[in-house]
């Protein structure tokens, strides 16, 4: 399988942004939930204080909870005991403070305030569904814009990654444009810091390749110079052999020709050995130092 850096970066950055959006939505929900809870508790506490001071209190006995806010979405109710009819979901004997009652369709948040003056208890309640709706709306307001902008962000990520990887393509084109017989160093001006060691390593490799090509050219020139003289001598000796007037003269002229051929053979073997040595390190072999010295 091909491993595309551009595709991997795009997917990873897109996944990171998506996770960040989800995390932002969750954080907004948690923060909004806490703020809504605090706001709900403050609202219930203030309404209970107003009722206790007689600002919103009524007289007489009612048949159910009293509505104190004109906003129908708030759904805040008040029960003053004794006096009002206690709802069926409200257990008797609740201690002063905040309570969350379970077992109902919409579990209400209840605040109980004891009136030390006349022995009455003021119970203010509001369904928790209102608080949850506020928190969920805040999370959606944070998450939905990010999700809607996700295609635009993905396009920007693709463009940014492609733009930042453009130096790699330019370096590849410059490397392909290098002449095979004379490779030169690649310029590292304007190359990102992360790619500069890679370009420097390529330049060192090109320098070694250039040295190797120079050695090969020098070897070819030296080999041509070394072989030209023996071949010229062999050509002269062969011409002399063709001009021999007798068999004895031909045999006499054959001896230097054979010696010249042997010298050319040894020279060829030496040139081949030199070529093998220049191609790289050879395995070590044992030699007779005495014989080599002699």
Domains of the chain: 5-151 (3.30.450), 196-281 (1.10.287.130)
Mean pLDDT of the chain: 75
CB 68 within 8 A of CB 112: no
Task: Inform me whether the pLDDT recorded for 61 exceeds 60.
Answer: no
Which is higher by pLDDT, 109 or 116?
Answer: 109
User: Cβ contacts of residue 142 below 8 Å, gap of 6+?
Assistant: 24, 25, 28
pLDDT band at 294 (very low <50, low <70, confident <90, very high): very high
Task: Inform me whether the pLDDT recorded for 293 exceeds 80.
Answer: yes
The separation between CA 127 and the C-alpha centre of its own chain, rounded to angstroms, equals: 46
Q: How many CB atoms lie within 10 A of CB 160?
A: 13
- With vertex at residue 195, the alpha carbon angle to CA 193 and CA 199, rounded to the nearest 5 degrees, is 120
pTM over 0.75: no
Percent of the chain whose predicted confidence (pLDDT) is above 90: 2
Mean pLDDT of the 195-202 span = 82
DSSP state letter for 96: S
**Nearest Cα residue to 159 out of 20, 14, 10:** 10
Q: Pick the range with the lowest mean pLDDT from 3-12, 112-121, 129-138.
A: 112-121
CB 184 within 8 A of CB 206: yes
- Taking only the tens place, the pLDDT of each residue in 207-265 is 888 887 887 788 778 777 777 777 787 788 787 777 777 777 777 777 877 888 888 88
Distances (CA, A) of 175 to 12, 180, 184: 30, 10, 9
Q: What pLDDT is attached to residue 288?
A: 92
């Amino acid at each position: 399988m091909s491993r595309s850096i551009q595709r991997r970066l795009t997917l990873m950055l897109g996944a990171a942004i998506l996770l960040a959006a989800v995390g932002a939505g969750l954080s907004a929900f948690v923060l909004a939930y806490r703020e809504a809870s605090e706001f709900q508790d403050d609202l219930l506490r203030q309404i209970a204080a107003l009722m206790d001071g007689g600002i919103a209190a009524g007289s007489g006995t009612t048949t159910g909870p009293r509505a104190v806010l004109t906003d129908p979405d708030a759904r805040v109710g008040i029960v003053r005991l004794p006096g009002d009819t206690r709802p069926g979901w409200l257990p008797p004997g609740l201690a002063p403070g905040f309570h969350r009652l379970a077992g109902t369709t919409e579990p209400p948040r209840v605040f109980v305030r004891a009136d030390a003056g006349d022995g009455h208890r003021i119970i203010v309640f509001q369904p928790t569904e209102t608080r949850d709706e506020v928190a969920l709306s805040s999370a959606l307001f944070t998450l939905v814009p990010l999700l809607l902008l996700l295609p635009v962000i993905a396009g920007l990520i693709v463009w940014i990654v492609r733009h930042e990887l453009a130096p790699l393509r330019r370096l590849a084109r410059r490397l392909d444009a290098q002449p095979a017989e004379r490779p030169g160093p690649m310029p590292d001006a304007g190359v990102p810091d992360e790619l500069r060691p890679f370009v420097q390593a390529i330049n060192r490799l090109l320098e070694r390749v250039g040295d190797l090509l120079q050695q090969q050219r020098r070897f070819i020139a030296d080999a041509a110079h070394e072989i030209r003289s023996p071949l010229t001598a062999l050509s002269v000796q062969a011409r002399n052999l063709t001009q021999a007037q007798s068999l004895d003269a031909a045999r006499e002229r054959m001896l230097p020709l054979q010696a010249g051929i042997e010298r050319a053979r040894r020279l060829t073997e030496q040139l081949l050995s030199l070529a093998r040595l220049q191609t790289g390190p050879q395995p070590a072999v044992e030699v007779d130092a005495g014989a080599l010295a002699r």
